[in-house]
């Protein structure tokens, strides 16, 4: 399995290089004739008139002019007619020279996704970003060859034959910052227990529930020996929950807690990494200073200055002016930046955006409580929702039950979406096609038989078979789509997908709404409105990981991803209990086939998490891979000056 994961990451790295080359060297993006009166604001109004109305998606783009930021509206032109318009050339922005850095030699100004809370104790939500920025460290990290599980704070580890326990030898000679002494197994056990919601009920750490679900109290039998006690199978513990590449926790000093208390730790961050925190202000800025000595590697860049810049236009302006040396940016921005000589980085993290076909709550019993589930989404007969509890509802074509009728509808919607055109029109071809929710194409275990073709003719045939004929106005039925405004891409993807779906006679209505308004219906399992939203399962991961918990009743009481599917629940349980990674992969491959057949999570596009840097500031940054981490290993940055 080790070689499979290595090959997987090599494959993704090659794909990323191809994408970067395309950004740097690609031609003009396709545009499509917009048949509607549109006003485009530049510095004056220009009226563009054409012949008839088609669906147009409008996005807000911000432009920097001198030191004044103004907002203009830009038309995103997407073909939704039956015949695609021929591409026409669009003017390219004038290339710009790379700026000279404004930062002092030995200092880099970095713009991350945000500056999280600067907390040094896990129960109060110490952020994972401390690990990504080299302040804290974990048991494992990816190896230089791309394999995911290599030793970090762990020198060695051994798992009990029954999988109930792991014994880990902690590395010696690892020092806490500011003279707080050597790291021991006692520090690690305390940090883990402080995170675990089952051991520390007041913990609000992001992974408090994850550890509570499979871990009892951790122990240290001596300064070097850590005992991890498992109460349930969790095959991802080495690759995800105790790994730099994943969602882990900070390892802090128990002595600091004993001597200074929890309140002091909330204001002071003491880790073991190559960088120490000089200053940290949430949602504003942070300053990290390289340690003069470190057990693993002393960083070459002496100071990292993290700046919280929420607006994309301001991030780009800072990068292009030399005010910033590195910035996290949407993939849509990379083509112009690489054309002008900026570099692009990724850890391999990406997330697919599916159209989740909401309301298909098929489980009968809540798996945790054993209680019978009362379903509220089957009160009305909704075309994309199959009712396994009452499959014969007297509203189906002869010889077809409700489950098959709804499956044909979902498949018709899947066939109507032109994924290559979505990629080109919204992202300049720099994203990846996404066909089956949860499963990405740039993975060694992907099978091309799961690709969903663009076939409107077959889609219309399926709808006819399902008994949804067009009325005199050419409409078969109406379907709303949630487009949560918290993520700009979700709304634009929803608009674009709706343009294709409308051509089938399905009258779509895009409901642009704050996620917080809809979340209660996701928790209550009462939503029936499809949504373009990525869930945890849509993040890229190896095929031997557990995936799909949120699409089952396992997470009842919390967020649920629009459906509860017995086959997904069965697969999650089998994968979680299986120690053999090859068998775990086989189980998930079977689930990929099932989701392809059922079209419950209709894949549309997969977006990589990327960042850009100024080569005049950074010569190279060989980030270690991190399927859940937006960036890793700042100690590996090689400065350009």
Q: Tell me the domains of the chain and their CATH numbers.
A: 3-76 (no CATH), 116-282 (3.90.76.10), 351-608 (3.10.105.10)
- The string of pLDDT tens digits covering residues 129-171 is 999 999 999 999 988 777 889 999 999 999 998 889 999 999 9
Q: Which residues pair with 59 in a beta bridge?
A: 74
What confidence score (pLDDT) does residue 148 get? Answer: 85
Whole-number Å distance between alpha carbons of 454 and 480? 22
Whole-number Å distance between alpha carbons of 278 and 286? 8
197 Cβ contact list (under 8 Å, min separation 6): 203, 205, 208, 209, 211, 212
Based on the number of CB atoms within 10 Å of its own CB, is 117 exposed (0-12), middle (13-18) or buried (19 or more)? middle
Token readout for 554 is 């396992």
Whole-number Å distance between alpha carbons of 140 and 558? 29
Whole-number Å distance between alpha carbons of 237 and 218? 14
What confidence score (pLDDT) does residue 95 get? Answer: 62
Residue spans of the chain under pLDDT 70:
1-95
What confidence score (pLDDT) does residue 94 get? Answer: 56
162 Cβ contact list (under 8 Å, min separation 6): none
Whole-number Å distance between alpha carbons of 285 and 88? 44
Three-state secondary structure along 129-168? HHHHCCCCCCCEECCCCCCCCEECCEEEEEECCCCCEEEE
Q: Are the beta carbons of 626 and 349 closer than 8 angstroms? A: yes
483-519 burial: b if 16+ Cβ within 10 Å, else e: bbeebebbbbbbbbbbbbbbbbbbbbebeebeeeebe
Q: How far does the chain reach from its first CA to its final CA, in angstroms?
A: 41
Q: Given phi > 0 = left and psi -120 to 50 = alpha, else beta, which region is 575?
A: alpha
Whole-number Å distance between alpha carbons of 143 and 194? 28
427 Cβ contact list (under 8 Å, min separation 6): 331, 332, 605, 607
Q: How far apart, in Å, are the Cα atoms of 88 and each of 81, 190, 422, 579? A: 16, 62, 16, 54
What confidence score (pLDDT) does residue 93 get? Answer: 54
Whole-number Å distance between alpha carbons of 595 and 356? 11
What confidence score (pLDDT) does residue 392 get? Answer: 86
304 Cβ contact list (under 8 Å, min separation 6): 107, 108, 110, 133, 275, 287, 288, 634
């Amino acid at each position: 399995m080790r070689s499979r994961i290595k090959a997987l990451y090599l494959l993704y790295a090659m794909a990323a290089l191809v994408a970067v080359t395309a950004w740097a060297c690609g031609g003009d993006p396709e545009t499509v004739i917009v048949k509607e009166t549109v006003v485009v604001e530049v510095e004056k109004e220009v009226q563009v008139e054409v012949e008839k109305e088609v669906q147009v998606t409008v996005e807000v783009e911000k432009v920097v002019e001198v030191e004044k930021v103004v907002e203009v509206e830009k038309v995103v032109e997407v073909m939704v007619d039956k015949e695609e318009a021929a591409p026409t050339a669009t003017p390219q922005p004038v290339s710009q020279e790379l700026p000279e850095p404004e930062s002092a030699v030995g200092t880099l100004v970095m713009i991350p996704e945000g500056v999280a809370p600067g907390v040094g104790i896990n129960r109060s939500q110490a952020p994972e970003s401390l690990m990504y920025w080299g302040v804290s460290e974990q048991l494992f990290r990816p190896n230089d060859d791309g394999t995911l599980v290599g030793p970090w704070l762990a020198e060695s580890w051994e798992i009990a034959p029954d999988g109930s326990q792991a014994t880990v030898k902690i590395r010696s000679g690892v020092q806490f910052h500011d003279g707080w002494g050597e790291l021991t197994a006692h520090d690690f056990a305390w940090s883990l227990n402080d995170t675990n919601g089952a051991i520390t009920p007041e913990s609000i750490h992001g992974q408090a529930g994850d550890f509570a679900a499979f871990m009892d109290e951790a122990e240290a039998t001596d300064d070097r020996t850590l005992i991890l006690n498992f109460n349930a199978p969790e095959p991802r513990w080495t690759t995800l929950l105790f790994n730099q590449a994943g969602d882990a926790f900070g390892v802090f000093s128990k002595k600091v807690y004993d001597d200074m208390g929890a309140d002091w730790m909330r204001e002071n961050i003491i880790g073991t990494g190559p960088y120490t925190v000089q200053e940290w202000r949430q949602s504003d800025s942070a300053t990290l200073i390289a340690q003069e000595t470190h057990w693993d590697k002393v960083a070459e860049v002496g100071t990292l200055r993290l700046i919280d810049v929420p607006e994309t236009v301001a991030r780009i302006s800072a990068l292009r002016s030399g005010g910033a040396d590195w910035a996290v940016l949407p993939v849509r921005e990379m083509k112009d930046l690489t054309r002008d000589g900026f570099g692009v980085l990724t850890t391999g993290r990406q997330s697919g955006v599916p159209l989740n076909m909401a309301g298909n709550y098929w489980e009968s019993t809540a798996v945790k409580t054993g209680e019978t589930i009362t379903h509220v989404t089957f009160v009305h007969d909704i075309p994309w929702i199959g009712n396994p509890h009452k499959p014969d509802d007297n509203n189906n074509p002869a010889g077809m039950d409700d489950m098959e009728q709804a499956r044909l509808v979902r498949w018709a919607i899947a066939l109507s979406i032109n994924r290559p055109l979505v990629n080109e029109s919204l992202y300049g071809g720099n994203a990846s096609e996404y066909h089956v929710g949860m499963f990405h194409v740039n993975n060694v275990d992907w099978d091309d038989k799961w690709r969903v073709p663009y076939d409107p003719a077959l889609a219309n045939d399926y709808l006819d078979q399902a008994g949804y004929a067009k009325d005199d106005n050419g409409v078969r039925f109406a379907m709303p789509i949630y487009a949560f405004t918290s993520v700009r891409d979700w709304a634009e993807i929803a608009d674009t997908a709706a343009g294709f779906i409308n051509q089938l006679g399905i009258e779509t209505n895009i409901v642009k709404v704050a996620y917080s308004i809809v979340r209660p219906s996701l928790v209550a399992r009462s939503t029936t409105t499809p949504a373009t939203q990525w869930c945890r399962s849509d993040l890229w991961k190896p095929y031997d990981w557990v995936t799909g918990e949120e699409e089952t009743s396992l997470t009842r009481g919390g967020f649920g991803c629009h459906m509860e599917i017995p086959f997904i629940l069965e697969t999650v349980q089998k994968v979680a209990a299986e120690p053999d990674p090859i068998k775990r992969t086989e189980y998930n491959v079977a689930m990929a086939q099932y989701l392809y057949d059922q079209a419950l999570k209709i894949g549309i596009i997969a977006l990589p998490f990327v960042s850009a840097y100024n080569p005049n500031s950074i010569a190279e940054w060989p980030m270690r891979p991190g399927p859940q981490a937006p960036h890793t290993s700042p100690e590996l940055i090689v400065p350009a000056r």
